[in-house]
Amino acid sequence: MADGASFVYNTEPPTRGKVVIVTTCGELDVELWPKETPMACRNFIQLCLEGYYDNNIFHRIVQNFMVQTGDPTGTGEGGESIYGKPFKNEVHSRLRFRHRGIIATANSGKNDNGSQFFITLGECKWLKGQHTIFGKLTGKTIYNLVNIANYETDDNDRPLHPPKILRTDVLLNPFDDIIPRVKEEKKVAPKKKKKRKKKLNLLSFDDQEDGEDVVEFQSKKKEKSAHALLKDDKTLSTTPAVEEDKAQETDINKDGEAASRIREKLKRKNKKKKSEKKADDGGGKKTAVDLEIAKLRADVYGERDEEPEYKPKKESALDAMLMGYKDKKVKKGSKKEREEKTLSRLDSFLADLQSVKATSGSGKRE
């Protein structure tokens, strides 16, 4: 077996060019044969440089046969070559499907090659001359291919949860003249801004641009009556109970009356202040003319400039004694002195109280 394997690899031509395909199952090291299959290798290298294979899924997995990818649509029916059309097959006598890891172009017929490619999972002698072999997997990354092949598929060989290519890194480019194509971005014509109509019921602060906050004062709309809303109801009379215009007029009149009342009150206060100032300027003395004016003003406006005279109540003898007792100042001294003073005052208070009672009793008897 070892001798057979060495014979296979010795008959294959030397490789030139290297690409790493990073997948969700790990890396795949790819070595190319650009001398034997220049069109297929150039197509593969340029698509890798352009990121064409990024996020492509392995849309077909056939156990013990191959795994297929390279279609951006993920359906197995898409993908284009860099030439803008399918290119022809490149068959070489020293390149055969003798072992696992052979990479070849996928096609639907002769000379119908695009962007799709497949990797073999074993020897496939019956594919000789039908597909262009342009590379092979090397090193231990062959085991990552086995992990991809173990994904569960449906009856049409489509994986239920397909693995995918994350990116492709070109480590050694055998073509110095390859220039990756730049994707042309579609220029979108700028939309013309519509002139906004000024709304009279909007209040903006400063010169505000579109999109900034605007304070809106909603104008009062006329409220419709039930008759206006229920036009089809025959049970309702055609004439409203209260006309809308009259209701609005009454509201306006009420507002006007309230405003006039407030103005009158303010005028009264201002006049009162002015009269007080004049009285103060005259030394606080009012003449007979001033008193007559004040009486007339009180009769007209229902107000009084002069305050009623305060007549103090007649105090009894007991109240006078209590007030005198409160007005006396207590001087600070020692504790004994204070106690003696309080006792003496208490005695005098009791004596005064008894004398008051005696005088009041004798007055009643008389």
Terminal CA-CA length for the chain: 158
Q: Which of 16, 65, 166, 175 is catalytic?
A: 65
Report which of 134, 15, 23, 133 is spatially closest to residue 69, judged by C-alpha positions: 23
Q: Which of 32, 47, 58, 60 is catalytic?
A: 60
Q: Which of 59, 98, 99, 131 is catalytic?
A: 131
The two three-digit tokens of residue 327, written as one number: 């007005």
Rounded to a whole number of angstroms, the CA Rg of the chain reads 56
Task: State the Cα torsion 326-330-334-338 to the nearest 10°.
Answer: -30
| Known catalytic residue at 175 | no
| Residue 37, strand partner residues | none
Q: Which of 43, 56, 68, 144 is catalytic?
A: 68
Q: Which of 87, 97, 118, 134 is catalytic?
A: 118
Q: Which of 46, 107, 116, 144 is catalytic?
A: 107
| Residue 215, strand partner residues | 203
| Known catalytic residue at 268 | no
Distance (Å, whole) CA 198 – CA 337: 92
| Known catalytic residue at 107 | yes
| Known catalytic residue at 127 | yes
- Contact status, residue 64 vs residue 121, Cβ threshold 8 Å: yes
Q: Which of 127, 130, 166, 227 is catalytic?
A: 127
Report which of 96, 98, 107, 170 is spatially closest to residue 133, judged by C-alpha positions: 96
| Known catalytic residue at 349 | no
CA distances from 336 to 4, 182, 342, 350 (A): 133, 113, 10, 21
CA distances from 126 to 68, 75, 87, 88, 102 (A): 17, 25, 22, 19, 14
Distance (Å, whole) CA 309 – CA 286: 16
What positions carry a catalytic annotation?
60, 65, 68, 107, 118, 127, 131
